Chain A
Amino acid sequence: MYGLKQDWALAPKKRHFVLEDYEGAVPRWCPGCGDLAVLTAVQRLARDEQLIPEKTAVISGIGCSSRFPHYMKTYGFHGLHGRCLPVACGVRSRRPDLHVFAITGDGDCTAIGAGHWIHAIRYNMKMTVLLFDNNIYGLTKMQTSPTTPKDHFSNTHPRGALLSPLRPLGVTVGITNASFVAQTIDWNPAHVYATIKRAFHHEGLSFVRILQRCPHYMSTNWDPLQQNPERLSLLKHPKGIVIDEPVARVFKNHVDHDPTDLGAAHYMADTLDTVPIGLLYLNENAERYDLNAAAGLGMSAEDKLEALNRELDRFET
């Protein structure tokens, strides 16, 4: 097709989107912030899937990662701390035609928004949820988060975090009706992209925890994993995150893991031996609340009025 003018083609695509079509404001994250890699992956995904920008809604809470919608050129909702998921569910409820991404952080999701986390997972409404987990509060300047490692120094725990960190994957896999739970690392863009793409195509709520670097307040946190890839386990399965062989070679441990095996998923999510990377849990038969929430969509005004009058009949004296 090289050299062929677009309007000469038989079925010209009216709109073709390039990366710039998804690029909003210039990111103001710190240099070296892991969020940048994820942003790039989502923009690439949007381009590759040719998502219509105005049919795409990116919802977030509050925190560093929640600035994400500003950097996309789609519709966005930068709401309240902890409340990303209820808002995203509301967007989805009456608009099955939209692509919904929900962006949340370890504070936003696993602390202030923990109640919503449980219920959004259970509702299993079709959307892609990305948990940016840098193990620290960044925007408010270095306070302990639920996932901060024990003994780690922060402004709220000057003698180190008092408790062992919460394990978000274990919690998520344990929620009834969870349907897609994956983990990836921001320093492997190919794996990030493959994971988000797989998540995007999941029919239900896909939950992706991204181990994410904070150069300012958690600069050495993931060093052991980066320096010693043997601490990572790459989960392999035809139904899982499928990546190219050269990418897979970076990982020293390859583990065959059937994501539809809930018991195995529980083990993978809670094991402290290695950090699992890939799809931990998949249930393609989970119930979908969004299919219920869309009840009555598209009913005509005429039908509505008729039904309404039948309701009024019930109350006649």
Chain B
Amino acid sequence: MEDASSARGKTDKKVVSSSKPQSKTTDSGVKVVHQHVVEFVCDSGEGAQTAGQMFGSMSARAGNGVWTVEIIPAEIEPPHRSKAGASGNRIRVGTKEITNAGDEADIVIAFNEQVLYSRIDVGALRKGTIIFLESKWRDDPLETVRAEYLEAFEDFQKRGYDVRETPMEVECLRYIADPRRGKNMWALGMLCAIYCMGLEKAEMEITKKFKRKGQKVIDSNMKLIEAGYAWATKNVPDRFEIPVRPNPQQMVVMNGNTALALGCMAAGMELCSMYPITPATSASHYLSGAFYRVGGFVHQAEDEIASIGFALGASFAGKTPVTITSGPGLSLMTEMLGLAVMTELPLVIVDVQRGGPSTGLPTKVEQGDLLAALYSAFGDAPKIVMAPATIEECLHFMVTARKLAETFRGPVMVLTDANLATGQTPFPRPVPTEEWLSPPLDQSPWPEGKPSYDWDHETGLSQRPIPGQRGGNYVLTGLAHDNNSKVAYESNTNLYAMRARSRKLHTLRKTLKPPKVYGADTGDLLIVGWGSTKGAIEEAVDRVRADGGKVSSTILRFLSPLEPGLGEIFAKFKKVMTIEINYSDDVDDKGIDAGGRRYAQLAMVLRAATLVDVDCWSDVPGSPLPPKTIENVIRRQLKM
């Protein structure tokens, strides 16, 4: 594991581009590209999110891979024309499946110049990014606004962006009185022309979107789209085509939180007990409405302690519930989490991770809760911890989590993050079956003489009595207890119970398969990741492998117990390192001595579990890691 010293480079913003050409131009002047990133940015309330989602939806329906992510200001009504107020959407469209939000934008539509600065700050633009910039500010009645605009306009040009001043307002005023409500549709029409999409696709989308608002609304929106289309046809020379690969499968499109909510219902869970917290809450927003139709209830408790307490009450009574929270909520829940482990109550806990510690970065992504998930309940509290790596998995893992909670009689933690929660992408429509749903409440008589914790010596598993089961009467207690749930302080009893609870993880581990290796199963470097970084890591691995780099990656879905075979997989690579979105010490920092280096969280776990000298590269930028960042890390490692 030589040369850990070059693993880092957080300050190194240099961009290494792939050596292979990414596009070609056809005779008709249409540039064929395999992926493009488009951004809409504006003040909140100007409809960029609607237009962005519609563009994403149209592309998905056409058969493109799509990933959209919202750009959301922190405040509800931030000041207009400000960096803090940027609102909008990033849409990445590709020929193949798109698994992440990508690198810098190719095209940006901005309704004012100030909001663009928020995107520049996070590195969302590159030299050559085409910016369609609303030009009305040039003639604004306020001198300060005119000056700001001109200053920014010059600055953008200096930065090497391809700025196209666009008279969006002026053009829209020919059709409507208030362009603030409609400019977004005009811009969407412009995109339709640039991306060679027929207007019939836009019309279908508009009809679907505004069906309830009536034909008049559909017509006026369509008029604006047509106008934008016509204007771009005349005034914009660029044409791009992103070829589609027909997909016969029926697809659904949603974000990770909605997928979690659907997963809860598909798992047959009927109770979600929660307390509002960003970025987890939107899952329960959808669920609270959908439960009226699918049968269930969202309990909004007075705090997170009560939410998990309520859930454990319901679990004790026989119904496996779910609680959905984020870092601060998880901290409040930990005493109850220990109780769930101790008393072996099935429960699914979803932690949609955000930036920490403390209130931290409430709306931003981080993978900083792994160790908290594993260890935050005091004492030895073994529990199952899993991490979906895609939005589709957010749905399916809930079904698995509920089954595991019941089979292994205890809490199952599901770690997602703000990146999965807010990203949207199409995936094959799931086909729920009765087997996915929780079985009906068992009210059959409890076998006579069977202890309430009838721990199997080999597996640690036991069946649990449910109130209503005659003869199963027991008193669940958080105190140390024997197999009859009787309070027992004797050391042998305590030891045996602890062994049984721990043994369950080994039993589960025996059923797991080793993780798949993406790329060759031998090489110079293996990247290990978990959760939402999967898409970006694999894309980066693809790019480096295309240049001959011997790098592979593997993504862990089970963090407790760990999937088997890691030692064997790691042994086939010269170096193993994790890439994570959490804090770790920079190995090049002179203030850090090698023995005291604090590793990224998964690296810490893997080093302890495998005794392999697993290195790490991690960062906490408050945004998803773009593939290019990961690509650069890998290239530095491989000295490419």
Give residues in A with beta carbon < 8 Å to B: 24-25, 53-55, 57-59, 69-70, 72-80, 83, 86-95, 97-98, 115-116, 118-119, 292-297, 299, 301-305, 307-312, 315-317
Q: Are B475 and A70 in contact (CB under 8 A)?
A: yes
What are 13 sample pairs from A and B whose C-beta atoms fall under 8 A apart? A72-B475, A75-B316, A75-B465, A76-B474, A76-B476, A90-B321, A95-B314, A95-B467, A98-B317, A297-B295, A305-B437, A307-B294, A317-B426
Task: Name B262's contact: one of A91, A92, A311, A317 (CB within 8 Å).
Answer: A311
- Separation of A296 and B617 alpha carbons in the complex (Å): 48
Q: How many residues of B are counted as interface, with CB atoms below 8 angstroms from the partner's CB atoms?
A: 69
Q: Are A311 and B313 in contact (CB under 8 A)?
A: no
Q: Which of B138-146, B230-238, B296-304 contacts A (4 or more CB under 8 A)?
A: B296-304
Interchain nearest-CB distance for B576 vs A (Å): 38
Interchain nearest-CB distance for A247 vs B (Å): 32
- Chain B residues near A75: list those with CB within 8 A: 316, 465, 467, 472-475
Q: Are A303 and B295 in contact (CB under 8 A)?
A: yes
- Chain B residues near A55: list those with CB within 8 A: 467-468
Interchain nearest-CB distance for B422 vs A (Å): 16
**Total A-B pairs in contact (CB under 8 Å)?**
198
Q: Are A90 and B314 in contact (CB under 8 A)?
A: yes
- Separation of A69 and B430 alpha carbons in the complex (Å): 44
- Chain B residues near A305: list those with CB within 8 A: 432-434, 437
- Chain A residues near B290: list those with CB within 8 A: 311
Q: Are A90 and B273 in contact (CB under 8 A)?
A: yes
Q: Are A54 and B295 in contact (CB under 8 A)?
A: no
Interchain nearest-CB distance for A264 vs B (Å): 29
Q: Are A98 and B432 in contact (CB under 8 A)?
A: no
B383 within 8 A of A: no
- Chain A residues near B310: list those with CB within 8 A: 86-87, 89-90, 93
Known interface pairs A79-B478, A90-B309, A93-B313; A317-B251 also in contact (CB < 8 Å): yes
Q: Are B306 and A317 in contact (CB under 8 A)?
A: no
Known interface pairs A78-B477, A116-B302, A294-B297; A90-B432 also in contact (CB < 8 Å): no
Q: A55-B467, A315-B258 are in contact. List 8 more A-B contacts (CB 8 A).
A: A83-B305, A83-B309, A94-B297, A94-B319, A293-B299, A295-B292, A303-B295, A317-B60
- Separation of A94 and B254 alpha carbons in the complex (Å): 29
Give residues in B with beta carbon < 8 Å to A: 57, 60-61, 250-254, 258, 262, 265-266, 268, 270-271, 273, 290-297, 299, 301-303, 305-307, 309-319, 321, 335-336, 339, 426, 429-430, 432-434, 437, 465, 467-479, 486-487
Q: Are A94 and B57 in contact (CB under 8 A)?
A: no
Q: Are A78 and B475 in contact (CB under 8 A)?
A: yes
- Separation of A79 and B479 alpha carbons in the complex (Å): 9
Q: Are B253 and A317 in contact (CB under 8 A)?
A: yes
CB closest residue in chain A, given B336: A80
Q: Are B317 and A90 in contact (CB under 8 A)?
A: yes
- Max chain A Cβ within 10 angstroms of own Cβ: one of B262, B469, B477: B477
Q: Are B271 and A94 in contact (CB under 8 A)?
A: yes
Task: Name B476's contact: one of A78, A302, A312 (CB within 8 Å).
Answer: A78
- Separation of A275 and B313 alpha carbons in the complex (Å): 35
Known interface pairs A87-B309, A309-B432, A312-B430; A70-B468 also in contact (CB < 8 Å): no
Q: Are B467 and A94 in contact (CB under 8 A)?
A: no
Q: Are B265 and A119 in contact (CB under 8 A)?
A: no
Q: Are B317 and A310 in contact (CB under 8 A)?
A: no
CB closest residue in chain A, given B295: A296
- Separation of A77 and B312 alpha carbons in the complex (Å): 10
Q: Are B271 and A93 in contact (CB under 8 A)?
A: yes
Q: Are B57 and A317 in contact (CB under 8 A)?
A: yes
Q: Are A79 and B295 in contact (CB under 8 A)?
A: no
- Separation of A241 and B472 alpha carbons in the complex (Å): 35
CB closest residue in chain B, given A306: B294
- Separation of A303 and B296 alpha carbons in the complex (Å): 13
Known interface pairs A311-B293, A317-B57; A87-B478 also in contact (CB < 8 Å): no
Interchain nearest-CB distance for B146 vs A (Å): 44
Task: Name B295's contact: one of A76, A93, A295 (CB within 8 Å).
Answer: A295
Q: Are B306 and A119 in contact (CB under 8 A)?
A: yes
Known interface pairs A295-B295, A295-B297, A308-B266; A315-B271 also in contact (CB < 8 Å): no
Interchain nearest-CB distance for B115 vs A (Å): 29
- Chain B residues near A309: list those with CB within 8 A: 432
Known interface pairs A87-B310, A317-B426; A93-B297 also in contact (CB < 8 Å): yes
CB closest residue in chain A, given B60: A317
Q: Are A86 and B306 in contact (CB under 8 A)?
A: yes
Q: Are A87 and B313 in contact (CB under 8 A)?
A: yes
CB closest residue in chain A, given B265: A308
Q: Are B295 and A307 in contact (CB under 8 A)?
A: yes
- Chain A residues near B478: list those with CB within 8 A: 78-80
- Chain B residues near A296: list those with CB within 8 A: 270, 291-292, 294-297
Q: Are B309 and A70 in contact (CB under 8 A)?
A: no
Q: Are B313 and A59 in contact (CB under 8 A)?
A: yes
Q: Are B252 and A77 in contact (CB under 8 A)?
A: no
- Chain A residues near B315: list those with CB within 8 A: 90
